[in-house]
Amino acid sequence: MSQHPSESDAPRSILSRRRALAGLAAVALWPAAGCSSTGSRRTVTAATPGPRWPDLPERGPLTPAAPVAPEPRSPQTAYTGIHRRSEWATGAPIPRRMDRMKPVRRLTVHHDGMPPVTLTSPRDVAARIDLIRRSHLRRGWGDIGYHYIVDPMGAVWEGRPLTWQGAHVAHQNPGNLGVLTLGNFQVQQPTPAQIATLDRFVASRMGVYHLSLPRVYTHQELAPTECPGRALQRHMTTTRRPTGRLAALAHSTHSLG
């Protein structure tokens, strides 16, 4: 989100915080936070349904999800430094609403698909993730539907415990690891730090669970939805190519294993 060039650092910080809180308040009224699909089992590879809300542009220039953060220095394959669930969750999972996780055999990438807000601090990110969790509880789910979350600053957050099957692709959750990227990438661009972390983190999970590139999906490749948005879908298509960054990182991970 851009700021007027005449604003000083202190007012800019206050305005940024107010706008972030205003955005979170608006999202709190959203009936179903997080990406969604109709539950169909068919695979979508080309056309997808129209926007989930009519007032957001389907085409036009994309805007940054947050100020650009520096890209991680090295493409480490063994990912460390994940924010624990205790840093954001204001409630525990409800086991009776969930199924036990089966062995992981695929991974699916999502965006949150909600009205965009600027997230520039761990506190804002924690509030956003917990907002999604509470929305998912209102659907009758046992917890946030995703196992991991990648924020615009390039940090990874622990979501639903891996003990439990996720709730992120209708009818295709068994053995499916759910990775959420915060932002609405139908109308925004993910930040360079977010993209760099997503590639590194997905590659690390591929190594842990011995997944090949064809086992890494986006939501719209498994169900009729726009998730993960046109900008992130473009990146995922490119990064999974034989010459793409994820392919290179995955090869490095498997070589180390």
pLDDT, position 81: 85
Whole-model pTM? 0.74
Chain length of the chain = 257
Nearest to 186 by CA among 147, 222, 229: 229
Q: For residue 95, give the DSSP letter.
A: G
Question: What mean pLDDT comes out for the span 23-42?
Answer: 48
Q: What is the DSSP letter of 79?
A: -
- How are beta strands 63-64 and 188-189 bridged, if at all? parallel
Structure token digits, residue 7: 């604003």
pLDDT tens for 65-103 read 333 333 333 333 456 789 999 999 999 999 999 999 999
Domains of the chain: 9-45+63-256 (3.40.80.10)
What's the alpha-carbon Rg for the chain, to the nearest Å? 18
CA distances from 21 to 26, 86, 108, 134, 205 (A): 9, 21, 29, 17, 33
| Structural contact between residues 162 and 209, judged by C-beta atoms closer than 8 angstroms | no
191-217 tens-digit pLDDT = 999 999 999 999 999 999 999 999 999
